[in-house]
Amino acid sequence: MTTLKSLVATACFFCTGALAADDLPVEPTPNVVTLPSEYSKDWIFAQDLNFVEPVGGKIVVLDVAADTRNYKGAMNASLFASFTQSTTRPELYSAQTFYSRGTYGDRIDVLAIYDTATLSPVDEIILPGGKRGQTMSTRSNLVMSGNDRFAFVFNFTPAASVQIVDMVERKLLEEIQTPGCSQLYPTGDTNFAMQCAAGGMSVFEIDASGAFQKRHDTEAFNDIDDNPLFVKYARINDVAYFPTFLGDIQPIELKDGTAKPLESWSVLTPEEKAQNWRPGGWQVIDGGDTDGLFYILMHADGVEGSHKNGGSEVWVFDPETRTKVRTIPLPNWGITIAVTRGETPYLTVTNGNFELDVFNAKTGELLRTIGGGATQHAFQLFPVE
């Protein structure tokens, strides 16, 4: 009985204290927080494809350098959208698809323009014909020209073409037929290159007004049958580094509106070749840190078809000396990688649980894992440029 009386007395004491406390102020609603118009280079965009309900896909803005409150906001990215960012205007772009009845009805494709501070849509350009390539997200389905004026949108029906959009005037200019070619790699101020089925690259010459002039084809260099290039690449200054399925690196100089294949080389030692180390994953390579290095996701015991399996390690290379400078073992199997562009680069890895493992890229130390539903299926990552 004494114990019961003590418990009741204690409970009453805390109740009295709670009643005596000042009431919390009423929170204003709505309460909308804005972001800076220019983002930190420690931030990334994580594309949540939302495989459960793709119409609800989104681009999530994350601060991967922070210990807490990594989530900054999100914007819509419906039905396997394509995404890119402006480097001279406070704008983000997403090529998306909608249907008049949500999941069915008349199709409409748009290139949506979002404000970086509010992540709200501020305008859109209609992309006619229902041709937008609804593929798994890559960084090369929607790109900006070198002078940041024109957006190039990859179409696939399965006929391949590219729509050119003037993002200053906010209008569609024209559509270029690009048979046998896919993915977009800017070169010079206004041109872009594409990988093509014949094993070479084609450069599409665009003038200052955004009008297509002519196409230039390189000689074949891509061994499509036996050792093809990934379409993903790491760009460092004017050189794009494309890995092959068997672990070679094919540099392509994207400069002055041209595409020039350079000498290829292997990332593998004879011992690593014997162990069948190979690149694998979705965004399998990235570069552009302050040291001019590239990072590549690797797995052992590779076989035909394992190029999308992911990897257990990230290898870091100096492309100038063609040497490996460090190996970063992954505690969780990796699918996609990205490296931030700030003074202290962070390697972010989408792991097999669709969480984001964040490493100090210079030391390989695992700093944190961002999970808890910040994204559902962050299959593609984009560093803030």
Confidence category of residue 30, pLDDT binned at 50, 70, 90:
confident
Whole-model pTM: value is 0.91
- Going 85 to 174 to 221 to 320, the CA torsion angle's sign is negative
| pLDDT at res. 372 | 65
Confidence category of residue 18, pLDDT binned at 50, 70, 90:
very low
Mean pLDDT over each residue of the chain, to the nearest integer: 93
Interatomic CA distance for residues 61 and 348, integer angstroms = 13
CB 222 within 8 A of CB 231: no
pLDDT, tens digit (0-9, with 9 covering 90-100), for 64-105: 999 999 999 999 999 999 999 999 999 999 999 999 998 899
3-state secondary structure of 307: helix
Confidence category of residue 364, pLDDT binned at 50, 70, 90:
very high
| pLDDT at res. 17 | 47
Interatomic CA distance for residues 37 and 86, integer angstroms = 12
| pLDDT at res. 184 | 99
Please state whether the peptide bond connecting residue 30 to the residue before it is cis, i.e. omega within 30 degrees of 0.
Answer: yes
Query: With 0-12 CB in 10 A as exposed, 13-18 as middle and 19+ as buried, what is 366?
Result: middle
Residue 378 or residue 374, greater confidence: 378
Interatomic CA distance for residues 36 and 131, integer angstroms = 34
| Token pair recorded at residue 54 | 């793709």
Interatomic CA distance for residues 250 and 239, integer angstroms = 10
| pLDDT at 201 > cutoff 50 | yes
Which H/E stretch holds residue 255? Answer: strand 248-255
| pLDDT at res. 312 | 99
| Token pair recorded at residue 141 | 């389905």
User: What are φ and ψ of residue 290, in 5° steps?
Assistant: -70, -15
Please report the DSSP string for 338-373 in residue order. EE--SSS-EEEEEETTS-EEEEETTT--EEEEE-TT
Residue 2 or residue 296, greater confidence: 296
3-state secondary structure of 337: strand
- Going 58 to 61 to 67 to 69, the CA torsion angle's sign is negative
| pLDDT at res. 23 | 86
Interatomic CA distance for residues 91 and 269, integer angstroms = 44
Contacts with 226 (C-beta within 8 Å, 6 or more apart), sequence order: none
pLDDT, tens digit (0-9, with 9 covering 90-100), for 321-360: 999 999 999 999 999 999 999 999 999 999 999 999 999 9
Return the bridge partners of 254, or none.
259
Q: Can you list the domains of the chain with their CATH numbers?
A: 226-385 (2.130.10.10)
Q: For the chain, how many residues are written?
A: 385
Residues 249-273, mean pLDDT to the nearest whole number: 98
Confidence category of residue 203, pLDDT binned at 50, 70, 90:
very high
| pLDDT at 27 > cutoff 90 | no
CB 335 within 8 A of CB 314: no
Contacts with 85 (C-beta within 8 Å, 6 or more apart), sequence order: 45, 91, 92, 93, 144, 382, 384, 385
Helices (H) and strands (E) in the chain, counts: 2, 29
